[in-house]
Structure 1
Amino acid sequence: MVPGRLIAYRDRVRSTLETAFETEHSPHDVAASFAAGVFITALPTLGTGLLVFVLLAAISDRVCKLALLASVVVLNPAVKWGVYAASFWLGNRILGPVPGISLSGVSLSAGPDIVARLLVGNLVIAVVFTVVGYAVVLRLVLAFRRRELELGDALPEVGSE
């Protein structure tokens, strides 16, 4: 059951990305849109990230809406819980553990310290995801379009003879 879900998830991500690759936007615009979407989606925006997507799409023609959508597919709500756990762990590594708090002794008074660690770790992870996402999508778009170009060049032109 799990391998089937993973295959379906992979296929959905691939399909969304390939549709984004076929847009009229430049490879840089597609990759930058995906990277911006990943950054916004990776942050704990509590749903307001979608409003930021709408705002970005409204103020700039260079934003590839499909690439923004693809970022949401990649960092979907189920995946974000893992990102948050990794963010808190990384925040603890950077800022140190919350003083006097163990897993069994978490209280509301420790809230600001816990949130600070979550946000610091999450910001670092979001930046890493953004840089990696831009590089990967740029390479994928270029390779995808190069393949399309080679296919088009191999076809004979109608009426050329």
Structure 2
Amino acid sequence: MTEFTPFASLAGGVMIGLSAVMLMLWEGRIAGISGIAGELLPPYRDGAFLSRFGFVIGLIAAPVAIATATGEAIPQTVSSNVPLMIAAGLLVGFGSVWGNGCTSGHGVCGLSRLSTRSLAATVVFMATAFVTVFLVRHVIGG
């Protein structure tokens, strides 16, 4: 079980919000992680490859930097069921393409713009997460 840490959660939320605002100001785009990561693959649409690459590297480097600074381990999801993890990753990728965005694009940026489409997408994301956690913890027994 993960402990609730209100100050760390607040700081993380503020940093996510600031990064979304900075990306909108400097690049004129929504901070949707699936879109940014997807546009690192060819064909390249514009000259923003380096900024997208830097954004994704920052996502990877940030937890490593925090772990190094605090001496605490990086929380991880570990599973020995590789086919299940591959299927889950493909389903998440398919869902973000099918839903025209991911949790960061809809949940962080879309809701702040009062987008009804993002509200609907976020409700579906959250409901799916609730059902999945319930099934895994109480029905399947993981």
Do the structures match in fold with TM over 0.5? no
Kindly name which structure, 1 or 2, has the bigger radius of gyration based on alpha carbons: 1
- TM-score interval, smaller chain: 0.3 to 0.5
More helix by share: 1
Higher relative CO (Cα under 8 Å, sequence separation at least 6) belongs to: 1
Q: TM-score, normalised by structure 2?
A: 0.40
